[in-house]
Amino acid sequence: MTDHSVYCSPLGTRYASKEMSYNFSDQKKFTTWRKLWVWLATAEMELGLPITPEQIAEMEAQVNDVDFTAAAAAERETRHDVMAHIRTFAAACPAAAPIIHLGATSCYVGDNTDLLCMRDGLSLLLPKLACVISRLANFATEYKDLPTLGFTHMQPAQVTTVGKRACLWLQDLVMDELAIRRVKEDLKFRGVKGTTGTQASYMQLFEGDSSKVQRLDQRVAELAGFSRVFTITGQTYTRKLDVILLNALASLGASVHKMCTDLRLLANLKELEEPFESGQVGSSAMAYKRNPMRSERCCALARFLMSLPSNALATASTQWMERTLDDSANRRLVLSEGFLCADGLLVTLQNICEGLVVYPAVIAKHLAQELPFMATENILMAVVKLGGDRQECHEELRRLSQAAGEHVKKDGGDNDLISRIRESSYFAAIKDRLDELTEPSGFVGRAPQQVTEFVQEEVEAVLQRYQGQLAGRVTLSI
């Protein structure tokens, strides 16, 4: 039964996926410790130490059967989590007990397990990010031609398209995919380095044979699935790696925050809306409300994620000499919660992208309020081409624009500039062309082509890496 009397992180219980929660679970952590002990003993046996296949087999048989109660009792006594689990594993493997953790220090299991969980966590995040990119690319392509009012300084600006705006969000996410993938590709294994990173204990075990110690380091990394291993470490791998990792995740958070803030603003304008289910309640008091709760959730989680690099920076900068232990409790929080938070963000964002609703009529209405002012330059050029005086035309447009603006601001009316121009005898020569000169699609420039080019040239190259991993839709449980 679930114990409702103790605190549980909402990242695990509400937002992150089951697979990401498992990746940072005690079961995953401590079975990985045991696998690392098996890999170490296997490599040591291969390189000539007196370890038997029977001892290896005994350890392998007990990898997944962790006695958490016994381990907790041992930790209360020793005040040392690694020693507690060595004792528990040794009790389950009496024949192998003498060679478990041979030559290793605590960071052998601690740091290497963190690196394995990072690698697996990144392997979970990247396809989810690719799914978001795929859905958003489809959305951008579908609406690449739909004109919409652009905004700079949150004030009406030149016309863009709904699809082009989506590409602004999409471009950030494509950059995040590259940054996170690079972190994964650059990950190195800590390997077997001993207490201060000098491998002195292994030099003792192998009677000064440096080549065997080097091979041991490489072989354990191979067994763990890593192609590269840190050449230099102190007792730990450099905590600079945690900074690089969390910076990449925090940058994803910034991208999601920006996108979802835009969605919230567009929801306020009633131009675009995130999914809203038939039974969903927007407010306990105001029954009519359709709050953008998914986008708000993403912004909330992103804000937390963006705060984590400062913590990693503080930890990396205070690792005295070969290491201090004040990183331990801190990293238990920031690494796992960074991954769970990024996972929850992507799960929610995919759900949003799979259900975005566009309201073209509202978009057209807002565009109609501003487009007449933007069309004045087209109208001026058309008059001049027919022999009109540029300065006279400019003054007539200024006069009519000021009157239309006053009607909007003081009377609360619609923008009637085009009607005023149509009724002015000065513009009689182009009266029949006014609809053409104010057609919204004529103001979007190359926005539709830019969408097509970006999706074909940059997005599709990203999605090619995730073939077979882009199917399925996300349904949020809460």
Residue 278 annotated in active site: no
CA distance 417 to 355: 37
CA neighbor of 234 nearest in space, from 158, 322, 356: 322
Quote the tokens at residue 453.
């080019």
Q: Are 295 and 264 in contact (CB under 8 A)?
A: yes
Quick one: DSSP state of residue 151? E
Cα angle 23, 24, 25 (rounded to 5 degrees) comes to 95
Token pair belonging to 171: 């471009």
Residue of 123, 210, 227, 283 with catalytic role:
283
Cβ neighbourhood burial of 286 (10 Å; 0-12, 13-18, 19+): exposed
Q: Dihedral sign, CA of 199, 313, 296, 174?
A: negative
Q: 223, 144 in Cβ contact below 8 A?
A: no
How far from chain centre, in Å, is Cα 67? Answer: 35
153 is catalytic: yes
Q: How many degrees, rounded to 5, is the angle at CA 353 between CA 350 and CA 356?
A: 145
CA dihedral 161, 166, 167, 168 (to 10 degrees): 100
- Tell the residue number behind the tokens 């969605």, with chain if given: 263
Please, how many CA atoms are within 13 Å of residue 288, restricted to the half-sphere of its CB?
0
- Which of 153, 284, 425, 477 is an active site residue? 153
Give me the sign of the Cα torsion angle 353, 357, 361, 362: negative
Residue type, 146: L
User: What is the length of the chain?
Assistant: 478
Instruction: Identify residue 151 by its one-letter amino acid code.
Output: F
Beta carbons of 378 and 437 less than 8 angstroms apart: yes
- DSSP code of residue 48: T
Distance CA 383, CA 401 (A): 16
* Burial annotation 440-470 (CB, 10 A radius, 16+ → b, else e): beebbeebbebbeebbeeebeebbeebeeee
368 in Cβ contact with 339 (< 8 Å): no
CA 304 to chain centre: 12
The string of DSSP codes covering 195-240 is: SSSS-HHHHHHTTT-HHHHHHHHHHHHHHTT-S-B-S--SSS--TH
Residues annotated as catalytic (active site), given as ranges: 153, 283
